[in-house]
């Protein structure tokens, strides 16, 4: 069935399901607030069935999206893998533009929707394909690894893509004594510390993670005795002070292993809201740095994009071929992993 044709209406999203989903956000919001989302959540569920759509949500999405309407939740790598495997006609990417582009590269025959066309990423905007070509000219023969937080054009200009979950593995897979690593300078430093490969970095930064400081982490540790988990997009002094450094899904795995009484996630603050129901014994201390791009996605624009099938993400064929090669090469390194 083509993606634009409607299927019969779904069975109602009833109050029992509403109450079940509320149990996952009950630590965060009063029932009255959850009730205010009910109509839109129910309408989105109906549209999802009519469109044969799947909703993928990054770990930084608002809790009412993450627990209310997402079929799949995860980090960039997990969402890319799901996009590649999904048999849905329509993929709604609740995340930012590069995530929707990656989904389109891996599912080129599906409609990929990004609920807000301006949901971008400061890191992805910090480098162009021309910059990658200039780096290659300065370092002839040195392979280029690009972080998934890049445009399709940058992926096409690179040899292979990586995420924060597999960056070291991807760099080492090239078997080269040196590697150009773009665009995040802090993730590059994180990789450089964990490999003997010489890393040639770019100077890109995430506008959310670069604001954290090592002093802030030490203050949290002193005042709260909390277990501190930081994303590798944070500055190096933050990474050095943290008890664990890893991707958003890596942080969830670390929480599962350590089960701390208190935790601070040094990353986008919706993440703690989304995971807290899975760790009832852990008290989450929340430094609140929000990603303005991730926060552009709302239940209202998810509903509207499913209704109107717009904004759709497309990648020009000339770019898509090489960009897909770069992403696929990463996925082929370990095709069985979900994140
Ligand atoms: P993850 O790949 O760890 O989910 O991170 C994506 C991102 O944009 C972090 O800012
Ligand atoms: Fe980009 Fe930073 Fe937002 Fe992640 S948190 S999407 S890296 S701006």
Q: Domain-by-domain residue ranges, the chain?
A: 3-119+294-308, 124-206, 209-285
Residues with CB under 6 A from ligand 2: 96, 121-123, 149, 206-209, 233, 268, 291, 293-294
Question: Which helix (DSSP H) or strand (DSSP E) does residue 146 occupy?
Answer: strand 144-147
CATH number for the region 124-206 comes to: 3.40.50.10800
CB-based contacts of 246: which residues, under 8 Å, 6+ apart?
Answer: 164, 165, 229, 231, 232, 253, 254
Percent of the chain clearing pLDDT 90 (strictly above): 86
Helix (H) or strand (E) holding 199: strand 198-201
- Give the residue-averaged pLDDT of 73-77: 89
**What's this model's pTM, rounded to 2 decimal places?**
0.93
* pLDDT class of 335 with cuts at 50, 70, 90: low
How far apart are the C-alpha atoms of 100 and 90, rounded to whole Å? 12
Atom 6 (ligand 2): residue with closest C-alpha? 121
Right CATH for 3-119+294-308 from 3.20.80.10, 1.10.8.60, 3.40.140.10, 3.40.50.10800: 3.40.50.10800
Q: Which helix (H) or strand (E) holds 262?
A: strand 262-266
User: Given this chain, do its domains 3-119+294-308 and 209-285 carry the same CATH topology?
Assistant: yes
Q: How far is CA 99 from the centre of its chain?
A: 7
Q: What's the pLDDT tens digit per position in 123-162?
A: 999 999 999 999 999 999 999 999 999 999 999 999 999 9
Span 285-299, mean pLDDT?
A: 94
Q: What does the pLDDT read at residue 337?
A: 53
Task: Write down the CATH number for the domain with range 209-285.
Answer: 3.40.50.10800
- In tens, the pLDDT along 198-252 reads 999 999 999 999 999 999 999 999 999 999 999 999 999 999 999 999 999 899 9
Concatenate the DSSP letters of all residues of 39-80 into one string. Answer: HHHHHHHHHHHHHTEEEEEETTS-HHHHTTT-SEEE-HHHHH
Mutating to test ligand 2, I would choose from 76, 208, 268 the residue with most ligand atoms within 8 A of its C-beta, which is 208
Lowest mean pLDDT among 2-6, 96-100, 124-128, 246-250: 2-6
């Amino acid at each position: 069935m083509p993606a634009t044709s409607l299927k019969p209406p779904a069975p109602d999203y009833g109050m029992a399901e509403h109450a079940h989903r509320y149990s996952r956000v009950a630590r965060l919001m009063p029932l009255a607030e959850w009730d205010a989302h009910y109509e839109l959540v129910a309408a989105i569920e109906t549209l999802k069935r009519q469109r044969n759509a799947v909703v993928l949500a990054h770990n930084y999405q608002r809790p009412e999206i993450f627990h209310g309407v997402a079929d799949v939740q995860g980090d960039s790598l997990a969402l890319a893998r799901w996009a590649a495997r999904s048999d849905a006609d329509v993929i709604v990417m609740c995340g930012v533009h590069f995530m929707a582009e990656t989904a389109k590269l891996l599912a080129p025959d599906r409609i990929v929707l990004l609920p807000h066309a301006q949901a971008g990423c400061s890191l992805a905007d910090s480098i162009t394909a021309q910059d990658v070509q200039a780096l290659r000219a300065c370092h002839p023969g040195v392979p280029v690894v690009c972080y998934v937080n890049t445009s399709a054009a940058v992926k096409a200009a690179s040899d292979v893509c990586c995420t924060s979950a597999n960056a070291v593995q991807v760099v080492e897979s090239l078997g080269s004594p040196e590697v150009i690593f773009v665009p995040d300078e802090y993730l590059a430093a994180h990789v450089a510390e964990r490999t003997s490969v010489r890393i040639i970095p770019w100077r890109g930064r995430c506008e959310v993670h670069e604001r954290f400081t090592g002093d802030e982490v030490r203050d949290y540790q002193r005042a709260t005795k909390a277990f501190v988990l930081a994303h590798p997009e944070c500055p190096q002094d933050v990474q050095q002070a943290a008890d664990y450094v890893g991707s958003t899904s890596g942080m969830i795995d670390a929480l599962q292993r350590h089960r701390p009484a208190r935790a601070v996630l040094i990353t986008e603050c919706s993440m703690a809201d989304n995971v807290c129901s899975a760790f009832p014994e852990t008290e989450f201390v929340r430094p609140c740095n929000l990603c303005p791009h991730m926060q552009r996605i709302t239940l209202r624009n998810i509903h509207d994009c499913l209704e109107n099938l717009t904004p759709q993400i497309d990648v020009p064929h000339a770019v898509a071929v090489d960009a897909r090669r770069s992403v696929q090469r990463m996925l082929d390194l370990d095709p069985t992993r979900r994140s």
